[in-house]
Chains A and B, each alone.
Chain A
Amino acid sequence: MGKGNCHANPRKRWRVCYRWNAMRIAWFSPLPPSRSGIAAYSAELLPRLEAHEIEAFVDDGEAHDGAGSTADIGRVTVRSAHDFPWRHARRPYDAVVYHVGNDRCHDYMWPYLVRYPGLVVLHDAQLHQARAQGLIRQHREADFKAEFRYCHPDVSPLLADLVIAGLGGTLCYFWPMVRIPVESARMVAVHNAYLARELSEEFPGKRIRPIHLGVPDPLASAMAPGGDVRRRHGIPDGAVVFGSFGRVTPEKGLSAVVQALAQVAAALPSIRLLIVGEVPSYFDLMAEARQWGVADRVIETGYVDDAALPEYLSAVDVSLNLRWPTGRETSAAWVRCLAAGKPTIITDLVHLTDVPSLDLRSMTVACTAGGAQEPVCVHVELVDGAHMLRLALRRLTEDAELRERLGRAARRYWEAQGTVDVMARDYEAVLAEARTAADPIPPAPWPAHLTADGSSTARALLAEIGVPYPLDQPGFDAGSATRPGRCGAPPAPRPIAGDA
Chain B
Amino acid sequence: MFAEDDIERRRVEREAADRDYNDALTALDAAVPRLPGLPRPAPAYDESQLPGLNERWRLMTADPTAGLRGWRRRLALAIWRLVGPLFDRQQSFNAALVDHLNRNVAAHRADRAAIESALDALRGELEKLEAFHTKLVLYLQTITRYVDTKDRSEFIATLANLTNAGLSGVADEFRRRWESMVAREQRYVAAVDEVRTSLASVQQTGLMLKRELERGLAGAVRTPAAQDAGPAGGSVPPPAALSSATTDAVNAYKYVGFENKFRGSEAEIRARLLQYVDVFEGATEVLDLGCGRGEFLSLLQERAIGARGLDINHEMVEACRARGLDATEGDALAYLGSLPDASLGGLIAVQVVEHFQPAYLVRFLDTAYHKLRPGSKLVLETLNPSCWFAFFEAYLRDITHAWPLHPETLKFLVVASGFQRVDVRLLSPYPVDARLQPVQLPSEALTVGMVSLAQTFNENVEKLNAVMYSYLDYAVVGERL
Q: In whole angstroms, what is the CA distance A14 to B272 when docked?
A: 13
B-contacting 9-mer, from A91-99, A161-169, A210-218: A161-169
Contact A2 B455 (CB under 8 A): no
- C-beta contact mask, A1-26 vs B, less than 8 Å → 1, else 0? 11111111111101110100000000
Q: Which chain A residues (128-173) contact chain B, with CB distance < 8 Å?
A: 165-167, 169-171, 173
Which residue of the partner chain B has the closest CB to A8?
A: B393
Q: Tell which of B350, B439, B442 has the most Cβ of chain A within 10 Å.
A: B350
B216 interfacial contact with A, CB 8 Å: no
A-B contact pairs, 11 of them (CB 8 A): A1-B355, A2-B311, A4-B351, A5-B259, A5-B262, A8-B262, A8-B397, A204-B459, A348-B180, A373-B421, A441-B440
Does B295 interact with chain A (Cβ within 8 Å)?
Answer: yes
B228-259, CB < 8 A from A = 258-259
A12 and B268 within 8 A (CB): yes
- Given A5-B262, A371-B421, verify A349-B179 contact (CB < 8 Å): yes
Alpha-carbon distance between A167 and B355 when the two chains are bound, in angstroms: 65
Interface membership of B193, Cβ < 8 A: yes
**B-contacting residues, A195-224, CB 8 Å:** 204-205
Q: How far is the CB of A377 from chain B (nearest CB, A)?
A: 14
Q: A7-B428, A171-B168, A369-B423 are in contact. List 19 more A-B contacts (CB 8 A).
A: A1-B398, A3-B290, A3-B293, A4-B351, A6-B397, A7-B262, A9-B262, A169-B171, A173-B175, A325-B172, A353-B190, A370-B194, A371-B421, A373-B421, A382-B176, A382-B180, A383-B180, A433-B432, A491-B443
Residues from chain B with a CB closer than 8 A to the CB of A9 are: 262
**Of B163, B290, B420, B472, which one neighbours A2 at CB under 8 angstroms?**
B290
Report if A432 contacts B (CB, 8 A). Answer: yes
Interface residues of A (CB under 8 A from B): 1-12, 14-16, 18, 165-167, 169-171, 173-174, 194, 204-205, 324-325, 348-350, 353, 366-373, 381-384, 429, 432-433, 435-439, 441-443, 488-489, 491
Given A167-B160, A353-B187, A370-B194, verify A441-B451 contact (CB < 8 Å).
yes
A489-B440 in contact (CB<8A): yes
Which of A6, A165, A383, A384 has the largest count of B CB atoms less than 10 A from its CB?
Answer: A6
Q: Which chain A residues lie closer than 8 Å to B441 at the CB level?
A: 441
- Can you list the 4 inter-chain pairs with the closest CB atoms, starting with the nearest? A169-B168, A2-B290, A371-B420, A5-B263
- Which chain A residue has the least Cβ–Cβ distance from B390? A7
Task: Decide yes or no whether B131 CB sits under 8 A from chain A.
Answer: no
Q: Would A369 and B421 count as touching, CB distance under 8 A?
A: yes
Q: Which residues of B sit under 8 angstroms from A488, Cβ to Cβ?
A: 440
CB distance from A384 to the nearest CB of B (A): 8
The CA of A367 and the CA of B383, in the complex, are separated in Å by: 29
Contact B421 A3 (CB under 8 A): no
Which B residues form the contact surface with A (CB < 8 A)? Answer: 160, 163-165, 167-168, 171-172, 175-177, 179-180, 182-183, 186-187, 189-190, 193-194, 258-259, 262-264, 268-269, 271-273, 289-293, 295-296, 311-313, 316, 349-352, 354-355, 383, 393-395, 397-398, 400-401, 415, 420-423, 428-434, 437-443, 451, 454-455, 458-459, 462, 472, 479, 481
Min CB–CB distance B287 → chain A (angstroms) = 13
**Bound Cα distance from A429 to B432, whole angstroms:** 11
CB contacts (< 8 Å) of B259 on chain A: these are 1, 5
User: How far does the alpha carbon of A11 sit from the alpha carbon of B263 in the complex, in Å?
Assistant: 12
A3 with B176: in contact, given A8-B393, A165-B160, A205-B462 (CB under 8 Å)? Answer: no
Task: Please indicate the chain A residues that have their CB under 8 angstroms from the CB of B458 in the complex.
Answer: 205, 438, 441
Q: How far is the CA of A2 from the CA of B259 in the complex (A)?
A: 9
Given contacts A169-B167, A169-B168, A350-B186, contact A6 B421 (CB under 8 A): no
Main secondary structure of the interface of A (DSSP, over half): loop
- B171→A381 contact, CB < 8 A: no
Instruction: Tell me, rounded to whole Å, the shortest Cβ–Cβ distance linking B175 to chain A.
Output: 6
**Cross-chain contact B296 with A173 (CB below 8 angstroms):** no
Whether B422 contacts A170 by the Cβ 8 Å rule is: no
In the complex, are the beta carbons of B273 and A3 less than 8 A apart? yes
A2–B399 CA distance with the chains assembled, in angstroms: 14
Instruction: List chain B residues, Cβ under 8 A from A8.
Output: 262, 393-394, 397
Q: Which residues of A contact B312 (CB under 8 A)?
A: 1
- B residues near A165, Cβ cutoff 8 Å: 160
- Which residues of A lie under 8 Å from residue B443 when comparing CB positions? 491
Q: Which residues of A contact B316 (CB under 8 A)?
A: 2
Q: Of A367, A368, A438, which contacts B440 at CB under 8 A?
A: A438
B420 touches A372 (CB 8 A): yes
Q: Is the CB of A350 within 8 A of B263?
A: no
Which residues of A lie under 8 Å from residue B290 when comparing CB positions?
A: 1-3
Interface centre among B296, B420, B431, by most A CB within 10 Å? B431
Task: Report Cα–Cα, A438/B180, bound state, in Å.
Answer: 38
Choose from A10, A370, A439, A443 the contact partner of B455 (Cβ within 8 Å).
A443
Say how far B480's CB is from chain A's closest CB, in angstroms.
11
* Distance (whole angstroms) from the CB of B354 to the closest CB of chain A: 8
A4 engages B420 (CB within 8 Å): no
Closest chain A residue to B453 by CB distance?
A441
In the complex, A443→B453 CA distance in Å?
11
Do B432 and A4 touch across chains, with their CB atoms under 8 A apart? Answer: no
CB-contact partner of B351 in A3, A16, A205, A383, under 8 A: A3
Contacts of B351 in A (CB 8 A): 1-6
A273 to B459, CA, bound (A): 53
* Cross-chain contact B172 with A167 (CB below 8 angstroms): no
Assuming A6-B383, A325-B172, is B397 touching A350 (CB within 8 A)? no
